[in-house]
C-alpha cells in the first residue's frame, strides 16, 4: 500500500523562504573588529532579499546555470550566509574553500571541482590572486567587503572578470523564482582536509542538508530556536560550520558571525557585547578563549551552552569553563563525511552530577538517523558493551556514501573508506555503551600498539592536559625495539610553569596503568595544527623521525 502523504522535496530554497519570512526579524550580525564601531547587522528578511539579488546576478550577469560550482573563499560573515542560501537554492553547487590550505591544494581542489565563480572576501584577495593563472575553469571573481582588488586585475591576463559584490547585486529584484530541484541533487561541496593523498570531495544533497538541519535543531543536539543567537566560531569552510548556518536560518536563530576575528580577545569581547546564547568551535580555539577568560574577567553569562567538537575535548577544558566561568560545555563528534553530526554528549535523564560527567566526557550519543557499528579488528562486529574497541562505521541519510569523482566521472568508493554493504569507515576507534554513547580512544592511524596491547593517545593527552602546568599535550606512537611501539609525550607548558618530566610522569602514574606511561618526553613550543585547527600528529611523528625533537628518557 502506498502512503497517502505528499511528496514534498526537502530543499535549501524551503529553508531560505521560511527563514526570510517567518523569521524575518532575526539577525545575522558580523563583527567588524573596528573599536567603537557597531557590528554590521542584517535581518533574515534582508539576507533573504540579498540572496535573491545574488542569485539574479549569478544567473543573469555571470551566466551560472544548472549545477555549476560557485566557490567561496570567505570568513564567517553575512555575505557568506547569502552565498550559502542563494547558490544551492538556485540549483547551483556551493563549494566552500578552506582558506588555510596550502596554495597547491587550493588550486587542485578548485580545478577538480571545476569551479566557475569564486566569491572572495577582500581581505583574502592576496591569497587568491597568485592562484588565478592556474585556475582553468574560473571565469569570474566576486569580491566582497573591504580590501584591495588590484592584485586580481591582470593576474589572469584578462581571462577572468573581477566584480564587486555590492555593485553586482545592487538594484536587482529582491525576489527570485527559486526552481524546484530534486532533493537528492547536489547542494554543497566540501573537500576533506586530505592529510593523506589528494583531498576528497563530499557532496551534500538538499535532502541531507534539510534533514541534518532538523537534527541540529533538535533538543538532543543543539536545540536551536528563535530565541537563540548562535556564534559559529567553527569556520563556514569546515563542514559548513557544522551545518549550523542552514540550521539556524531554518530555526530563526540569530547568527553572530566572527568574520576574521578568531583570536581569544575579540571572541571574548563579542560574546560580552553581542550576548550569544550558544557557540561552537574545536578545542584549540576554546582552549585559547578559556585562558583569555581566566586572565581578563568578561561577562559571558549569555551563553547557555558551548559546543566543543571536531577533536577530542579534554575533560579539563570542559571543567575549566564550567567551574571557573559557569559555562555549560557539550561535547560532540562528527566528520566532513557525516555533515557532521554525529553524536552529542547530553547525559541520560536522571543521571546524578558525577554520573552525568562520565557521559559528558564521551563523544556522545547517536541520534536515530545515524546507525553505528564497531568493526572488530579480525572481522565481524563488536558488542555495544562499553568495553570492546573497534573501528566505528556509520550510515544514515546525511552520511556520505561516496566521494566526488570529478566532472563527468563516476563517484569514488575507496575500499578503505566504504564497506561493501555501503557503510562509511570513519577511521575512528572506540567503544559504544549499551545506551549508545561513543567513546573514542584514537584515530585508527594514531593508535599506539605496544607489545600487542593498544594504548589510547587521547587518554594520555586528556590526563596530561588536566595538570595545571600543561597548556597542551600531544602523544604519538614511536617505534620501539622491544615493544614495537611506545608513546612519546610532547608537552606545551603554560607561561611561567615549571613542572619537570618526573613530575608529569608521576601525575600520569596516578591516573593510568603503569605499562602505558610514556618513557619518551619532549617539551615543544606549541602543538602543530592542521588547516582546521586540530592536532597534526603526523608532523610530530616526522619531527621525531627526523631527529628534530629534543627527547628526554624518563625510565
Task: Provide DSSP, 265-320.
Answer: HHHHHHHHHH--SEEEE-HHHHHHHHHHHHHS----TT-SEEEEESSPPPHHHHHH
- Least separation in angstroms between residue 58's CB and ligand AMP is 28
Whether residue 192 lies in the annotated active site? yes
> Is-contact 293 324, C-beta < 8 A?
yes
Is 465 an interacting residue with respect to ligand AMP (CB under 6 A)? no
The enclosing H or E element of 114 equals: none
User: Which residue stretch of 7-15, 62-70, 308-316, 320-328 sits at the interface with ligand AMP (rule: CB under 6 A)?
Assistant: 308-316
Is 78 an interacting residue with respect to ligand AMP (CB under 6 A)? no
Is 331 an interacting residue with respect to ligand AMP (CB under 6 A)? yes
Q: Cell numbers 588590484 correspond to what residue? A: 150
Distances (CA, A) of 207 to 84, 413, 520: 15, 21, 49
Is 192 an interacting residue with respect to ligand AMP (CB under 6 A)? yes
User: Which residue stretch of 15-23, 79-87, 304-312, 380-388 sits at the interface with ligand AMP (rule: CB under 6 A)?
Assistant: 304-312
Is 53 an interacting residue with respect to ligand AMP (CB under 6 A)? no
Q: Residue 97 and residue 59: Cα distance in Å, rounded?
A: 21
**Total chain residues near ligand AMP (CB under 6 A):** 22
Whether residue 391 lies in the annotated active site? no
- Least separation in angstroms between residue 534's CB and ligand AMP is 6
Is 310 an interacting residue with respect to ligand AMP (CB under 6 A)? yes
Binding to ligand AMP (CB under 6 A) within 363-382 occurs at 363
> Is-contact 24 49, C-beta < 8 A?
no
Which of 297, 445, 449, 542 is catalytic? The answer is: 449
Which of these, 218, 259, 297, lies nearest to 75 by C-alpha position? 259
Nearer to ligand AMP among residue 75 and residue 333 (C-beta): 333
Nearer to ligand AMP among residue 248 and residue 458 (C-beta): 458
Is 20 an interacting residue with respect to ligand AMP (CB under 6 A)? no
Cα dihedral 247, 252, 258, 260 sign: positive
Q: Residue 269 and residue 30: Cα distance in Å, rounded?
A: 13
Q: How many other C-beta atoms can be found within 10 angstroms of the C-beta atom of residue 34?
A: 8
Is 234 an interacting residue with respect to ligand AMP (CB under 6 A)? no
* Cβ density class 516-549: b for 16+ within 10 Å, e for less: bbbbbbbbbeebbbbbbbbbbbebbbebbeeeeb
User: Considering all CA atoms of the chain, what is the largest pairwise distance in Å, rounded to the nearest integer?
Assistant: 73
Q: Binding residue for ligand AMP (CB under 6 A) from 81, 257, 335, 540?
A: 335
Q: Residue 205 and residue 184: Cα distance in Å, rounded?
A: 5
Which of 82, 183, 274, 337 is catalytic? The answer is: 337
Whether residue 196 lies in the annotated active site? no
Is 193 an interacting residue with respect to ligand AMP (CB under 6 A)? yes
Is 87 an interacting residue with respect to ligand AMP (CB under 6 A)? no
Binding to ligand AMP (CB under 6 A) within 509-548 occurs at 532
Whether residue 337 lies in the annotated active site? yes
Q: Binding residue for ligand AMP (CB under 6 A) from 239, 253, 344, 400?
A: 239
> Is-contact 222 278, C-beta < 8 A?
yes
User: Which residue stretch of 3-11, 284-292, 347-355, 421-429 sits at the interface with ligand AMP (rule: CB under 6 A)?
Assistant: 421-429
Is 428 an interacting residue with respect to ligand AMP (CB under 6 A)? yes
Which of 11, 192, 244, 490 is catalytic? The answer is: 192
Q: 121: which 3 cell numbers?
A: 572576501
The residues binding ligand AMP (CB under 6 A) are: 192-193, 239, 309-313, 331-336, 340, 363, 426-428, 440, 443, 532
Could you give the residue numbers annotated as active site?
A: 192, 337, 449, 454
Amino acid at each position: 500500500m502506498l502512503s497517502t502523504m505528499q511528496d514534498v522535496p526537502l530543499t535549501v530554497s524551503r529553508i531560505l523562504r521560511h527563514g526570510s519570512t517567518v523569521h524575518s526579524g532575526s539577525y545575522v550580525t558580523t563583527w567588524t573588529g573596528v573599536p567603537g564601531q557597531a557590528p554590521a547587522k542584517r535581518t533574515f528578511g534582508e539576507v533573504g532579499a540579498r540572496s535573491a539579488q545574488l542569485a539574479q546576478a549569478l544567473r543573469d550577469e555571470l551566466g551560472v546555470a544548472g549545477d555549476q560550482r560557485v566557490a567561496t573563499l570567505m570568513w564567517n560573515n553575512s555575505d557568506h550566509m547569502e552565498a550559502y542560501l542563494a547558490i544551492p537554492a538556485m540549483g547551483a553547487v556551493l563549494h566552500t574553500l578552506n582558506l588555510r590550505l596550502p596554495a597547491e591544494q587550493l588550486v587542485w581542489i578548485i580545478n577538480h571541482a571545476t569551479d566557475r565563480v569564486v566569491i572572495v572576501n577582500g581581505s583574502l584577495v592576496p591569497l587568491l590572486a597568485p592562484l588565478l593563472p592556474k585556475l582553468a575553469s574560473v571565469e569570474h571573481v566576486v569580491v566582497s567587503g573591504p580590501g584591495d582588488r588590484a592584485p586580481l586585475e591582470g593576474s589572469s591576463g584578462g581571462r577572468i572578470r573581477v566584480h564587486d559584490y555590492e555593485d553586482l547585486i545592487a538594484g536587482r529584484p529582491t525576489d527570485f523564482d527559486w526552481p524546484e530541484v530534486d532533493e537528492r541533487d547536489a547542494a554543497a561541496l566540501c573537500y576533506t582536509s586530505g592529510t593523506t593523498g589528494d583531498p576528497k570531495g563530499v557532496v551534500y544533497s538538499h535532502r541531507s542538508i534539510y534533514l541534518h538541519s532538523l537534527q541540529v535543531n533538535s533538543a538532543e543536539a543543539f536545540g536551536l530556536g528563535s530565541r537563540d543567537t548562535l556564534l559559529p566560531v567553527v569556520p563556514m569552510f569546515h563542514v559548513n560550520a557544522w551545518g549550523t548556518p542552514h540550521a539556524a536560518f531554518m530555526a530563526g536563530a540569530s547568527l553572530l558571525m566572527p568574520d576574521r576575528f578568531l583570536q581569544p580577545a575579540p571572541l571574548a569581547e563579542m560574546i560580552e557585547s553581542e550576548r550569544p546564547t550558544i557557540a561552537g568551535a574545536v578545542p584549540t580555539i576554546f582552549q585559547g578563549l578559556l585562558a583569555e577568560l581566566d586572565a581578563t574577567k568578561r561577562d559571558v553569562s549569555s551563553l547557555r551552552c558551548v559546543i566543543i567538537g571536531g577533536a577530542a575535548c579534554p575533560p579539563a577544558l570542559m571543567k575549566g569553563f564550567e567551574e571557573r566561568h559557569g559555562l555549560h560545555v557539550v561535547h560532540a563528534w562528527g566528520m566532513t563525511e557525516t555533515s557532521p553530526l554525529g553524536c552529542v554528549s547530553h547525559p541520560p535523564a536522571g543521571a546524578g552530577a558525577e554520573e552525568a560527567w562520565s557521559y559528558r566526557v564521551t563523544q556522545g550519543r547517536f541520534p536515530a538517523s545515524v546507525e553505528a557499528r564497531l568493526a572488530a579488528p579480525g572481522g565481524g562486529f563488536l558488542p555495544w558493551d562499553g568495553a570492546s574497541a573497534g573501528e566505528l562505521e556509520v550510515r544514515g541519510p546525511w552520511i556520505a556514501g561516496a566521494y566526488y569523482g570529478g566532472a563527468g566521472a563516476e563517484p569514488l568508493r575507496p575500499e578503505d573508506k566504504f564497506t561493501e554493504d555501503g557503510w562509511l569507515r570513519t577511521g575512528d576507534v572506540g567503544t559504544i555503551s549499551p545506551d549508545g554513547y561513543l567513546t573514542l580512544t584514537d584515530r585508527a592511524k594514531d593508535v599506539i600498539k605496544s607489545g600487542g596491547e593498544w594504548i589510547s593517545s587521547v587518554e594520555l593527552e586528556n590526563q596530561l592536559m588536566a595538570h595545571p602546568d600543561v597548556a597542551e599535550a600531544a602523544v604519538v606512537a614511536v617505534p620501539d625495539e622491544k615493544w614495537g611501539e611506545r608513546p612519546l609525550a610532547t608537552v606545551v607548558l603554560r607561561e611561567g610553569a615549571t613542572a619537570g618530566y618526573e613530575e608529569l610522569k608521576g601525575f600520569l602514574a596516578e591516573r593510568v596503568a603503569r605499562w602505558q606511561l610514556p618513557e619518551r618526553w619532549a617539551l615543544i613550543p606549541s602543538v602543530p595544527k592542521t588547516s582546521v585547527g586540530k592536532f597534526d600528529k603526523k608532523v610530530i611523528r616526522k619531527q621525531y623521525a627526523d631527529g628534530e625533537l629534543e627527547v628526554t628518557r624518563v625510565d
